[in-house]
Amino acid sequence: MQRATAGDLAYRLLVRGLAGLAILILLAPVVIVVATSFTTSQTLRFPPPDLSLRWYRELFDPVRSGPIHAAAWNSVWVAGTATLAATVLTVLAALAVARVKRPSARILEAGFLSPLVLPTLSYGLAALMFFSVLGIRPSLNILIAGHLVVIAPFVFRTTLASLAGLDQTLLEASANLGASRFYGFRRITLPLIAPGILAGAFLAFVSSMDNVPVSLFLSNARTGMLPIRMWGMMESTLDVRVAAIAGVLIASTLALLLVVDRLTGLTRRMSA
């Protein structure tokens, strides 16, 4: 067995140190926010003088936190509807693009992915001006349409990647055995690309829930979204319920991530 040199040991220490620093930078803000949400203080401060569930009780109080609940419901409804619509549309588009080998398909693929490089702030302003010219007032449907554009590339990209790894001989064999194209899609293609679809839908839903620029331009007082509500609470009163909201969102995202991983087996696939 070859003995590790001093240079190898230094390299390992450097890599591990940088990895630890990266993890610290990523997790430290989360830990600080979660710890602050359990404070007994009247304002946002860290470290908390004492621990309490007071702000979580106030957050779930329908009387005191009614506007927050309404904004949370709007965000969940918009994110869920936009994700469902994006999943249906982009899966169909990915199937069409994957079948075509001509250069035009690559242009179409770039068009579907273009919202990823478009600044969302610029897009939000452009969408507001576009709907204003058409005389359409802000509503939840307008928010769904606006979010649909910016989250669709997530589902499209993961679905297209899953289709790239699909063994076409399976479809050819099913066709030779008399299966229709729809039957082959339902029994072969869809089950094999489902992990990619679910992973993309998860990313799309989380991105929609966390979207500020589009929601800022396309919402009004009746269609307030949770990120905008949190922003206003931070600017006006430094309400500690903002930290409690963040704690609920972190826990919900983690739970949803575990469910998606359980359904798709993504961790198992990556470690295989």
In a domain, 90, yes or no: yes
Kindly state whether residues 12 and 74 are assigned to the same domain.
Answer: no
The Cα–Cα gap between 198 and 261 comes to 9
Kindly state whether residues 134 and 82 are assigned to the same domain.
Answer: yes
In a domain, 86, yes or no: yes
Q: Where are the alpha helices (DSSP H) in 38-118?
A: 54-59, 66-99, 103-113
Kindly state whether residues 109 and 177 are assigned to the same domain.
Answer: yes
Kindly state whether residues 21 and 138 are assigned to the same domain.
Answer: no
Kindly state whether residues 95 and 192 are assigned to the same domain.
Answer: yes
Long-range own/partner contacts, residues 36-45 (CB < 8 A, 24 or more apart): 36/240, 36/243, 37/240, 37/243, 37/244, 37/246, 37/247, 39/240, 39/243, 41/240, 42/240, 43/238, 43/240, 44/238, 44/240, 44/242, 44/243
Whether the pLDDT of residue 169 is over 50: the answer is: yes
The CATH number that applies at residue 92 is 1.10.3720.10
Which residues partner with 39 through β-bridges?
A: 51
Neighbours of 205 (CB within 10 A): 25
In a domain, 207, yes or no: yes
Kindly state whether residues 118 and 209 are assigned to the same domain.
Answer: yes
Tens of pLDDT, residue by residue over 240-261, are 888 899 989 999 888 888 888 7
Kindly state whether residues 89 and 218 are assigned to the same domain.
Answer: yes
Which residues partner with 51 through β-bridges?
A: 39
In a domain, 54, yes or no: no
Number of domains observed in the structure of the chain: 2
Nearest partner of 222 among 112, 121, 137, 150, judged by Cα? 137
Kindly state whether residues 5 and 82 are assigned to the same domain.
Answer: no
The Cα–Cα gap between 121 and 106 comes to 27
Whether the pLDDT of residue 78 is over 90: the answer is: yes
Kindly state whether residues 91 and 225 are assigned to the same domain.
Answer: yes
Kindly state whether residues 17 and 135 are assigned to the same domain.
Answer: no
In a domain, 55, yes or no: no
- Token code pair at residue 110: 């770039």
Q: Are 226 and 59 in contact (CB under 8 A)?
A: no
Q: Are 176 and 107 in contact (CB under 8 A)?
A: no
Kindly state whether residues 93 and 9 are assigned to the same domain.
Answer: no
User: Domain range spanning residue 74?
Assistant: 63-271
Confidence of residue 1 (pLDDT cuts 50, 70, 90): very low
pTM to 2 decimal places: 0.84
In a domain, 262, yes or no: yes
Tens of pLDDT, residue by residue over 47-59, are 888 888 888 998 8
In a domain, 34, yes or no: no
Kindly state whether residues 17 and 139 are assigned to the same domain.
Answer: no
The per-residue pLDDT for 4 is 60
In a domain, 17, yes or no: yes
Neighbours of 213 (CB within 10 A): 18
Measured over the CA atoms of residue 173, residue 177, residue 182 and residue 184, the dihedral's sign is negative
